[in-house]
Structure 1
Amino acid sequence: MWTSYTDAGCKICETVFVPYFDASIAVEPLTSRQVAPPAPQAAPVNLEPALIFKALGDGTRYAMVQLIGRQARTSADLARELGVSKATISHHLSLLREAGLVSESYESGSVRLSLKTEVIHQLSTLASTAFAPTA
């Protein structure tokens, strides 16, 4: 819907048309609308062991993986528990995401981080096959 607006005090202004939203004619009330959180990133199609080992090769990232493997946490929780800044957690988290190790869920406006255990299981299976003694 459009409505017009004219400023009576302005001598050079003409009528301006502006969009007008009437909430009473909305298909659903605005209060019932919820903004969906961004979709989580898809897991990597191919397992990249070198990338995963690189991600786990740093002490802070390894500690982060241990913590989120036990219980889902927010990045603020990780920063507090590890005694580092949120910026440091964010940096390390980007590398863990790139390696496909982190899963994100949205609860009460917070992003909860957890370990993608299926990636660890795939890596373990791959490693045991790759490093198995030959007969």
Structure 2
Amino acid sequence: MGPARSLEHPTPEQMSLDSILSALADPVRRTIVAQLAGGHDDQACIAFALPVSKSTSTHHFRVLREAGIISQQYRGTSILNGLRTEELNLRFPGLLDAVLAAN
């Protein structure tokens, strides 16, 4: 068995307000964030009923990960998604709560 695959995630210091707000400007991405906030962590991409194609869905998850909003970890052939609540609240206190309340 080879090494575990991993995906790049920005550190809290690398998170920028512009990239986070840009990522959250899309309603599909806000839906993903709201589902992660309302459920348990480590939800597979297929657990999200999104009104877009699989390739577009993959793009939305990548934008959220690259902005630092979600974490993605491989488990077998699935990618599990989690909201980076603690890191976001440390870097931008209150931002995530405000976005979720407005959604």
Output the TM-score relative to the length of structure 1.
0.57
Q: For each residue in 1:92-135, what CA deviation from the matched residue of structure 2 results, as whole angstroms up to 9, or x when unmatched? A: 112112201121223243111111112321244286xxxxxxxx
Query: Between Structure 1 and Structure 2, how many residues are aligned?
Result: 92
Q: For each residue in 1:60-87, what CA deviation from the matched residue of structure 2 results, as whole angstroms up to 9, or x when unmatched? A: 0001111123222222222xx2232211
Q: For each residue in 1:27-54, what CA deviation from the matched residue of structure 2 results, as whole angstroms up to 9, or x when unmatched? A: xxxxxxx223212324333230111011
Give yes or no for contact 1:49–1:123 (8 Å, CA) kept in 2.
Answer: no
The reply to whether residue 53 of structure 1 matches residue 36 of structure 2 is: no
Aligned to 1:75: 45
Q: Structure 1 CA distance, aligned partners of 2:10 and 2:36?
A: 17
Question: After superposition, where does 1:35-114 map in structure 2 within 5 Å?
Answer: 35-44=2-11, 45-69=13-37, 70-71=39-40, 72-78=42-48, 81-114=49-82
State, as a whole percentage, how many aligned pairs show the same letter. Answer: 26
Note the residue ranges of structure 1 that are not aligned, 5 or more in a row. Answer: 1-33, 128-135
Give yes or no for contact 1:75–1:86 (8 Å, CA) kept in 2.
Answer: no
Note the residue ranges of structure 2 that are not aligned, 5 or more in a row. Answer: 96-103
Output the TM-score relative to the length of structure 2.
0.72
- Based on CA coordinates, which of the two structures has the bigger radius of gyration? 1
Q: With CA pairs under 8 Å and 6+ residues apart, which has the higher RCO, 1 or 2? A: 2
- Amino acid in the other structure paired with 1:38: R
Q: Which structure dedicates a bigger proportion of its chain to helix?
A: 2
Q: Structure 2 CA distance, aligned partners of 1:115 and 1:95?
A: 13
